[in-house]
Structure 1
Amino acid sequence: MPNPNPPGVFVQELPGGVRTITGASTSVPAFLGYTKPSAHDTPDAAPGPFTDAERAVPQRIGSWREFAARYSTEGLAKELADATDPATIHTLQRCLPLAEAVHGFFANGGGSCYVVGFTSPQSAVSPEYLRGNADARTGLAALESIPEVTMVAVPSLWDMTADASAEKEVPTPDHAAGVSRTAEVLKHCTEQRNRLAILDPPPGLTPAQVAAFADTLASPDTDEAAFTTLYYPWITVPGVDAVERTVPPCGHIAGVWARTDAERGVFKAPANQNLRATLRLATVLTDDEHGKLNEKGVNCLRAFPERGLLVWGARTRSTSRDWRYLNVRRLVSYLSDSVRQSTTWAVFEPNDERLWATLRHSVSSFLTDQWRQGALLGRTPDEAFYVICDGTNNTSETLDDGKVVCDIGVAPVRPAEFVHFTVTQLAGRSGSTT
């Protein structure tokens, strides 16, 4: 420190050398679906609607008002109200599931999301087109460059299986075609490792039919099943244009996930939570029906007296003990993303004990914070996790290869899915008198 001229107290700030790990994003979904083609009008209010080219690539949306302005929701509602031709009505109606999903997300506590639009709602979307192209930034491939996305939902998926009809009746979704498109979503989520798919069954299915449909998805013992969630039944909403309609619940569910993350943390199962902006369920389930669906990994929505509509399931489609519960899968993805994103500083650092000690301290401090918040099981941090980064796993061979090995083990908390009480009647005891 240079000698100051006047007498007094002087402070010099020096870097402490402590590296911290910051929690990664957990609550940002991506919605893919049909959008109304842009009219290329420029209203007085800014920002104006996206062009067709802009709607085809991922756009970050921060509020329902922004979505309505950028995707011409008011214009869609007006055109639908004025339309008389069945083909036009069906084409415009196919744009509503995406709008309802985004509205449901924000209504249930969501903060921001990404939207990928398909601007030809009159036409079916092939699996290849849904997969998209990373260079052109279209479809699912465009989301590969957006690491903050942690949920993927396609509210228009079942409309994408067929062209819009000119007949009065809406065409029946093609279940086999829907499964092939679902496979693209699951493949994307599995490859990215940090996001889960929120799937909807075809509309109008009975509980028994949903159980059969679940069997057509990725096998429960595969890696893909751990990144798959399925919710039933569809829900009736007030409608973004004030017209009641039944829509897939994926957008509302994404909002519940985001709300739970904000209020409790990603380790809390997003279940036993109210569904907002929802009028009623398309199907009211019995306990027996729910039990059979729960065994299939289907998360059910239930209506309970004086409690309203609740999310009453928190499972993935996996039967693996490690990945059966979606909050466990999301927690591990969150921890992995957080460590990876916050330790890039270590690349090209001298590979010695000082580097290993810094990594051990950073990861241990981060996991200790998670344990204190209730994300990890154990009475002490030593019971909740371990971090090994020393000479035992960083050998001369790994040093020669330029590698640093840091082994981490965690004990995630699992939800109390079944709460059992035993009630015993005590009879024959004489009462006490004074």
Structure 2
Amino acid sequence: MPDPTPPGVFVKELPSGVRMITGASTSVPAFLGYTKPSANDDSEANPQPFTEAERTVPQKIGSWREFAARYSVPGIAKELADATDPAAIHALQRCLPLAEAVHGFFANGGGACYVVGFTGPQDAVPPEALKGNTEARSGLAGLETVPEVTMVAVPSLWDMTADVSAEKEAPAPDHAAGVDRMNEVVRHCTEQRNRLAILDPPPGLTPAQVGAFADTLASPDTDDAAFTTLYYPWITVPGVDAVERTVPPCGHLAGVWARTDAERGIFKAPANQNLRGALGIETVLTDDEHGELNAKGVNCLRVFPDRGLLVWGARTRSTTRDWRYLNVRRLVSYLSDSIRQSSTWAVFEPNDERLWATLRHSVSSFLTDQWRQGALVGRTPDEAFYVICDATNNTTETTADGKVVCDIGVAPVRPAEFVHFTITQIAGESERTT
């Protein structure tokens, strides 16, 4: 800095050298489902509709208005009003669950989402097509290049199990085929490690049937179960085309997750929250039915007097102690993703004590902030987490291989799922006589 000529106060800014860790994305879902194959009838929309090719790759959507214009939602409603062929009607109706899910996401507090479309609503989608192709960026494989996605939902999944027909009634979903498609979604989330699957059981099931269906999914003691959530029952909505219908709740729940993250933080269980944009639920549950489903890892939607429709469960399908609760699994994924993304500066740095100390300081500062926000248990940071990055775990062999090892342990806050009160009646003293 040159010497100042006039009198005054001058400031010189110097880099501190401190490496900060910033939080990764937590509230961005990806929705996969049927969309209109053609956008010709929406040519005057603003913004312009996506082409058929554009609809098959991940597209970021920032509002319901944008989705309606980009994916020709008004055109679907118009064609449905004019259609008379049962097969055409069934195909158009299959485009609405995706629209309802996106609408429910934004209605419940969501900020942005990704959409991957399938433009052949008249045809079933086999598991291989749902899995997609990395080069074509189709299906679930297309989401591998979108690291900010933290939730995956397929509102059209049960329609994907069968072709449409000329019959008056829509084809019934194939439960076994649906489980195969669910497995692809769960496999994708497990491999990516930073996102969870929001799944819906088949429509029209009783509580007992849902419990039996949950038993057909991946075993609850596997790694896959920790990245899986299942919600029941389906919900009734006003309809994006002003026609009431019953739809899977996955889109609305993604919005609840996003709203909870914004209002409280990712460490807060996304439950005991109102479900906005829903008129009711397909099945009203009793406490006993809820208890049986809760034990199987099924999160229930309940209606309570004077409180309305609430999300009344926050579990993964895992039965292991570490990953039983949804907020714990999401928190650990968030911490891992944040540290990984913000530590890429360390690549090719000299692998010595100065690097280890910088990593320890960066990670400890980040975790201390999380502890202060209430994400970790402990009276002090030392009780809430530990960070080891020194000569004890960075040996001569690991440094010779170009590796830096940083061992981290955290104590997440678990939800108070069962609150018990003890009430004791104390008999009054007998009156004294004089």
Same fold, judged at TM 0.5 (above):
yes
| Residues 1:235 and 2:235 aligned together | yes
Q: In the TM superposition, what are the counterparts of 1:3-402 in structure 2 within 5 Å? A: 3-41=3-41, 43-402=43-402
**Alpha-carbon distance in 2 for matches of 1:429, 1:334:** 57
> SS in structure 2 opposite 1:116?
strand
AA paired with 2:257? W
Long gaps (5+) in structure 2: none
Partners of 1:152 and 1:9 in 2: how far apart? 54
Structure 2 counterpart of 1:393, which letter?
N
Return the alpha-carbon distance in structure 2 between the equivalents of residues 198 and 165 of structure 1: 29
Is 1:41–1:49's contact at 8 Å kept on the other side of the alignment? no
Per the TM alignment, residue 45 of structure 1 is displaced from its structure 2 partner at its CA by 4.4
Deviates most, 202-211 or 387-396: 387-396
Question: Is residue 38–residue 71 contact of structure 1 (8 Å, CA) maintained in 2?
Answer: no
Q: Is contact 2:29-2:152 (8 Å) kept?
A: yes
> Residue in 1 aligned with 2:423?
423
2:220 & 2:275 partners in 1: Cα distance? 27
The more displaced of 79-88 and 196-205 is 79-88
Q: 3-state DSSP class of the match of 1:246?
A: strand
Corresponding residue of 1:406: 406
1:62-88 deviation line (CA, Å, top 9, x unaligned): 000000000000110111112121111
Deviation of residue 226 (structure 1)?
Answer: 0.1
Q: CA RMSD in A?
A: 1.2
- Per-residue CA deviations over 1:137-159 (Å, capped at 9, x if unaligned) read 00000000100000000000000
Give distance in 2, aligned partners of 1:243 and 1:14: 61
Amino acid paired to 1:396: T
In structure 2, what residue type is equivalent to 1:317? R
Q: What amino acid sits opposite 2:408 in the alignment?
A: I
CA distance in 2, matches of 1:43, 1:115: 20
Residues 234, 282 of structure 1: 8 Å contact kept:
yes
Distance 2:126 2:20 in 1: 45
Displacement of 1:350 after TM fit? 1.1
Offset from partner CA, 1:180-209 (integer Å, 9 cap, x none): 111100100000000000000000000000
SS of the residue corresponding to residue 149 of structure 1 reads coil
Contact 2:21-2:363 at 8 Å conserved across structures: yes
Give 3-state SS (helix, strand or coil) of 2:150's partner: strand
CA distance in 1 between counterparts of 2:432 and 2:245 reads 63
Q: What is the Cα deviation at residue 44 of structure 1? A: 3.8
Distance 2:159 2:20 in 1: 46
Letter in 2 for 1:281: I
Q: For 1:42 and 1:214, how far apart are their aligned partners in 2?
A: 41
- 8 Å contact 1:290–1:300 — kept in the other structure? yes
Following superposition, the deviation at residue 42 of structure 1 comes to 5.8
Helix, strand or coil for the counterpart of 1:391? coil
Cα deviation digits, residues 273-295 of structure 1 (max 9, x gap):
00000000000000000000000
Cα deviation digits, residues 101-143 of structure 1 (max 9, x gap): 0000000000000000000000000000000001000000000
**Change beyond 3 A, Cα 1:136–1:419:** same
How far 1:4 sits from its partner (Å)? 3.2
CA distance in 1, matches of 2:160, 2:58: 18
Deviations 1:224-253 (A, max 9, x none): 000000000000000000000000000000
1:399 positional shift: 1.3
Provide the TM-score with structure 1 as the length reference.
0.98
Contact 2:31/2:155, CA 8 A, preserved across alignment = yes
CA distance in 2 between counterparts of 1:165 and 1:260 reads 41
TM superposition shift of 1:429: 2.2
Structure 1 352/432 Cα, relative in aligned 2: closer, same or farther at 3 Å? farther
Tell me, in whole angstroms, the C-alpha distance in 1 between the residues paired with 2:7 and 2:200: 72
In the aligned structure 1, how far is the partner of 2:32 from the partner of 2:244? Answer: 22
CA contact (8 A) 2:45 2:69 kept: no
1:99 Cα deviation after fit: 0.3
Deviation of 1:9 after TM superposition, in Å, equals: 3.0
Provide the C-alpha distance between the structure 2 equivalents of 1:17 and 1:430, rounded to a whole number of angstroms. 75
Distance 2:374 2:318 in 1: 24
CA distance in 2, matches of 1:413, 1:36: 44
* Aligned-pair CA distance for 1:432: 9.4
Distance 2:432 2:83 in 1: 80
TM-score (norm 2): 0.98
Partner Cα separation in structure 2 for residue 90 and residue 10 of structure 1: 72
User: Are the counterparts in 2 of residues 235 and 247 from structure 1 also a CA contact under 8 Å?
Assistant: yes
Change over 3 Å in CA distance of 1:352–1:78 after alignment to 2: same
Once the 2 structures are TM-superposed, how far is the Cα of residue 41 of structure 1 from its aligned partner?
Answer: 4.8
